[in-house]
Structure 1
Amino acid sequence: MKLSARFPKILACCAALAVSSAASEARDLSPAETCIAVNDGLSLGAPLPHTAEALKAHRPLRIVAIGSSSTVGLWMVRKEKTYPGVMYRELLRLDPAMQIEIVNSGRNGDTIPGNIARFQRDVFAHRPDLVIWQIGGNDFTWGEGIESLGHRIAEGVAMLRAQDADVILMDQQYTPVILATHYAKMQAAIASVAREQQVAYLPRFDMLHKTVEAGVSIVSLSAFDGLHMSGDAYDCTGRVLARAIMAAVR
């Protein structure tokens, strides 16, 4: 047999071995570590100029995380286990000289209009360099079209940017209860605003979905209620976000 005829078979064999090896390695990792591995190099899709300026000037970086229960860190006993808490620890690991102030302005059960109504007291009052706005988990029952949802999100983003703050939009979690809803409508609205307003975007839904595709059970990424994230999912979200922030400013 000629080498040219055998070459495709050799390539196919090598590819199969590589996939098998990757799957084996994934099985050896914890759910959080697998999540981090499959999302290595994730980009926020937009620069963070105010964040970069604060770090360059060696002044405290002020971050406000606003949203609902995913920001509060529902079912996490210690604040260090919430995604803002994990993010804080990971940022310091990446740059021990960094000065960081993080305010967790999450509220269980909150919605996009509820978040916006709290901006003045729970966001602007802290004069942040960076705002991470986690949205979507409690808004898919509105029955509104994408245009209406997008308008509300765009309104909120414009208000945040008017305060000279960088913005990162974070979408929904990938859990059984969310999957049973019309989640795609909310996903499309958030992604559309991020693209049109040219703000940073953490695609949490896709991030966790990729982890499940890598062999991690969705149960391992979900709390007992099937709606909120597990400790592993909070851990991955905080660490991946911290790494993406540092990549954006460098």
Structure 2
Amino acid sequence: MSPNAPSPRPKLPKRQVLIRLALAVIAAIIAFNIPHSLIPVFKESISEATPPPEIQNVLAGKRKIVIVGDSITEAGKYPGGYVWLLQRYLSALYPGKIEIVNAGISGNKATDMQARFQKDAIDHKPDLVMINVGVNDVWHAF
């Protein structure tokens, strides 16, 4: 290829280069911080774990908890997510006794959750229901 021939790859405007650089920096920061969220939650052995007094009575006799929400709840099932942490904590305190049902659906607003509440929450016959809503309602100008 001659030195005066146009490059097969078009030159990116400075703004696009800066955006790509910023995204790379953000990705690197996230990548370096992920291991911190995966550090074991419990410093004591599982056999020594006891629930704080303020929740001992709340969880007495509870066998199933349904968590209804949006993408934050749905993604909470992955390591480090709040649903995952809750399941891990309760499994340590009450091995094999409390089931968590994650009923999070990305993009849902309060009206969407209301429409599916019977099927996704009540039909599971839960002892407790957690409802996490509002992000999409605000985001989509409810």
**Cα gap change, 1:31/1:98 in structure 2, threshold over 3 Å: closer, same or farther?**
closer
**Cα gap change, 1:140/1:52 in structure 2, threshold over 3 Å: closer, same or farther?**
same
Conserved 8 A contact 1:71-1:107 = yes
CA displacement at 1:87 relative to structure 2:
0.9
Match of 1:70 among 62, 69, 72: 72
- Does 2:109 match 1:107? no
1:52 and 1:103 map into 2 onto residues whose CA distance is: 16
Number of equivalent positions: 94
Q: Give a deviation string over 1:199-243, Cα, whole Å, max 9, x none.
A: xxxxxxxxxxxxxxxxxxxxxxxxxxxxxxxxxxxxxxxxxxxxx
Using the size of structure 2 for normalisation, the TM-score is 0.54
Supply the AA of the counterpart residue of 1:63: I
- Does 2:59 match 1:52? yes
Q: Give a deviation string over 1:90-117, Cα, whole Å, max 9, x none.
A: 1222x14460111111101000010111
CA displacement at 1:83 relative to structure 2:
2.0
1:53 and 1:110 map into 2 onto residues whose CA distance is: 31
Q: Which runs of 5+ in 2 are unaligned?
A: 1-35, 40-53
**Root-mean-square deviation (CA), in Å?**
3.2
**Cα gap change, 1:81/1:142 in structure 2, threshold over 3 Å: closer, same or farther?**
closer
SS in 2 for 1:117: helix
Conserved 8 A contact 2:37-2:80 = no
Q: Which runs of 5+ in 1 are unaligned?
A: 1-29, 34-45, 56-60, 145-250
**Cα gap change, 1:31/1:71 in structure 2, threshold over 3 Å: closer, same or farther?**
closer
1:118 and 1:48 map into 2 onto residues whose CA distance is: 31
Supply the AA of the counterpart residue of 1:134: N
Bigger Rg, which one = 2
Equivalent residue number for residue 133 of structure 1: 131
Equivalent residue number for residue 85 of structure 2: 86
- Percent of matched pairs sharing the same residue: 30
SS in 1 for 2:129: strand
